[in-house]
């Protein structure tokens, strides 16, 4: 039930007074939508119908406290709300794992395109997928929902991240066809080596020296285990790519997200590992952010 009623004019004035303390308008509006349950249509009416009545699912006082923490302590709004919209779901989020980014949604679209090269083809009804470095479980949830007949595996080194992934998978992809594993990259999946048809990963890829230069909202509140990729940012990509020829099934696909300036280096690693159909793909801003390749059908 809504806990606050006010006019659109009063809400806009209150909003402006808080934005004068700092922060971005787009982030404040996100908070109104996620915590205040103020829908997109209602947001559009604020300026058009200033005398209309607005109903919020939180008090202005509570919203103001959350905004103050975001502005002064740089706490991510997603952590304050505990949720994050991603593709067609809302994920639980926490400091245990990286907050899922919008551009990572494209990794799922690319993965499904690999399995379904043309619009006339249907997705395979069975297979084995893996999400390595699952974090919140965002990619695993999307794969489990898109490939309900497949066997799925989500791997992470962090026990806390796996608990978060488990909560998201249980609530958003309730199926007995996925399993969680604690460990490093391919190692927990050794019993399945040679049988995995699709692997996705958004590994840590930021060079170590750049981590301290990140925005405080990221640097101080997101796990460095999920950020730092070693001296050149490619340590985790190397581990993923070097294990792919053994772990993938013949013809199986590997899809990776990487740093904005690592495309050529990652493509070289994929080719040197003996993978084929090596390709780069752009993110929403046109930056080459993804790499994909597959194990040859024959040696």
Instruction: Indicate if the pLDDT at residue 43 is higher than 70.
Output: yes
128 occurs within a structural domain: yes
Q: Looking at 2-16, 101-115, 142-156, 224-238, which range is the least confident one?
A: 2-16
Instruction: Indicate if the pLDDT at residue 161 is higher than 80.
Output: yes
Instruction: Indicate if the pLDDT at residue 154 is higher than 90.
Output: yes
Residue at a domain's end among 73, 100, 123: 73
* 9 and 60 housed in the same domain: yes
Q: What is the pLDDT of residue 45?
A: 73
CB 90 within 8 A of CB 84: yes
CATH number, domain containing residue 106: 3.40.50.150
Q: Kindly indicate the confidence band of residue 247, based on its pLDDT and cuts at 50, 70 and 90.
A: very high
Instruction: Indicate if the pLDDT at residue 52 is higher than 90.
Output: no
* 141 and 218 housed in the same domain: yes
Q: Kindly indicate the confidence band of residue 253, based on its pLDDT and cuts at 50, 70 and 90.
A: very high
114 occurs within a structural domain: yes
Q: What is the pLDDT of residue 44?
A: 74
The tally of domains found in the chain comes to: 2
* 46 and 166 housed in the same domain: no
* 23 and 129 housed in the same domain: no
249 occurs within a structural domain: yes
Residue at a domain's end among 26, 48, 73: 73
Q: What is the pLDDT of residue 4?
A: 85
CB 188 within 8 A of CB 211: no
* 67 and 93 housed in the same domain: no
78 occurs within a structural domain: no
81 occurs within a structural domain: no
* 175 and 271 housed in the same domain: yes
- Record the pTM: 0.92
Backbone angles phi, psi at 152, to 5 degrees: -120, 150
Q: What is the pLDDT of residue 117?
A: 75
Share of the chain above pLDDT 90, in %: 80
What's the Cα-to-Cα distance from 83 to each of 35, 90, 278, rounded to whole Å? Answer: 9, 6, 35
* 36 and 176 housed in the same domain: no
* 66 and 104 housed in the same domain: no
Q: What is the pLDDT of residue 176?
A: 81
Instruction: Indicate if the pLDDT at residue 2 is higher than 60.
Output: no
Mean pLDDT of 18-35: 93
Give Cα 84 distance to the centre of its chain: 9
* 276 and 198 housed in the same domain: yes
CB 111 within 8 A of CB 256: no
The three state secondary structure string of 91-107 is EECCCCCCCCCHHHHHH
Span 129-150, pLDDT tens digits: 999 999 999 999 999 999 999 9
CB 141 within 8 A of CB 169: yes
* 190 and 214 housed in the same domain: yes
Q: What is the pLDDT of residue 240?
A: 98
80 occurs within a structural domain: no
Domain region containing 39? 4-73
Closest listed residue to residue 280, CA positions, set 263, 257, 261:
263
Average pLDDT, the chain: 93
Count the Cβ atoms, other than its own, within 10 Å of residue 97.
Answer: 28
42 occurs within a structural domain: yes
* 167 and 276 housed in the same domain: yes
Mean pLDDT of 254-282: 97
299 occurs within a structural domain: no
* 48 and 95 housed in the same domain: no
């Amino acid at each position: 039930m809504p806990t606050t009623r006010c006019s659109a004019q009063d809400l806009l004035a209150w909003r402006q007074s808080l934005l004068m303390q700092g922060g971005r308008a787009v982030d404040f509006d996100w908070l109104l939508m996620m915590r205040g349950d103020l829908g997109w249509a209602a947001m559009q009416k604020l300026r058009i119908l200033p005398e209309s009545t607005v109903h919020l699912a939180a008090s202005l006082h509570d919203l103001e406290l959350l905004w103050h923490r975001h502005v002064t302590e740089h706490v991510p709004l997603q952590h304050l709300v505990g949720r994050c919209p991603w593709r067609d779901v809302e994920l639980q989020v926490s400091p245990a794992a990286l907050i899922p980014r919008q551009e990572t949604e494209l990794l799922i679209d690319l993965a499904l395109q690999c399995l379904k090269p043309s619009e006339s083809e249907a997705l395979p009804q069975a297979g084995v997928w893996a999400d390595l470095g699952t974090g919140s479980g965002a990619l695993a949830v999307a794969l489990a929902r898109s490939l309900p007949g497949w066997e799925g595996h989500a791997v992470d080194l962090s026990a806390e991240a796996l608990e978060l992934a488990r909560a998201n998978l249980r609530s958003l992809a309730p199926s007995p066809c996925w399993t969680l594993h604690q460990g490093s990259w391919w190692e927990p999946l050794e019993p399945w080596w040679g049988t995995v048809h699709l692997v996705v990963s958004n590994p840590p890829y930021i060079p170590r020296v750049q981590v301290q230069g990140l925005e405080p909202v990221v640097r101080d509140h997101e796990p460095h285990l999920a950020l730092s990729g070693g001296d050149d940012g490619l340590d985790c990509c190397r581990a993923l790519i070097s294990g792919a020829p053994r772990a993938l099934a013949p013809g199986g696909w590997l899809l990776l997200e990487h740093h904005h300036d690592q495309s050529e280096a990652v493509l070289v690693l994929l080719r040197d590992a003996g993978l084929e159909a090596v390709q780069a793909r752009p993110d929403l801003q046109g930056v080459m952010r993804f790499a994909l390749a597959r194990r040859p059908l024959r040696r």
